[in-house]
Amino acid sequence: MLTEGNQVTEKGKYIYCIIGINEDRNFGSMGIGGRGDEVYTVCYQDLAAVISDSPIMKYP
């Protein structure tokens, strides 16, 4: 949920890309927004989404 002034009250996931791999990987604490969130893969068969936690916010 957003409040007035774009204050963050919920967490979401940021999807960077989809890659052809079938193994868990951790790319370190370099998530978007400068909060130090871990960037990692979520796998399904031979594909993986590269994601991190991210605040839900309204972008201009």
In this prediction, residue 38 has a pLDDT band, given cuts at 50, 70 and 90, of: very high
Contact 46, 16 (CB under 8 A): no
In this prediction, residue 3 has a pLDDT band, given cuts at 50, 70 and 90, of: low
Higher pLDDT, residue 6 or 29: 29
Rounded Cα–Cα distance for residues 27 and 7 (Å): 28
Picking from 23, 31, 34, the residue whose alpha carbon sits closest to that of residue 51 is 31
Type of residue found at 9? T
Q: Which residues pair with 18 in a beta bridge?
A: 49
Average pLDDT over residues 23-38: 92
Token pair, residue 59, equals 């972008």
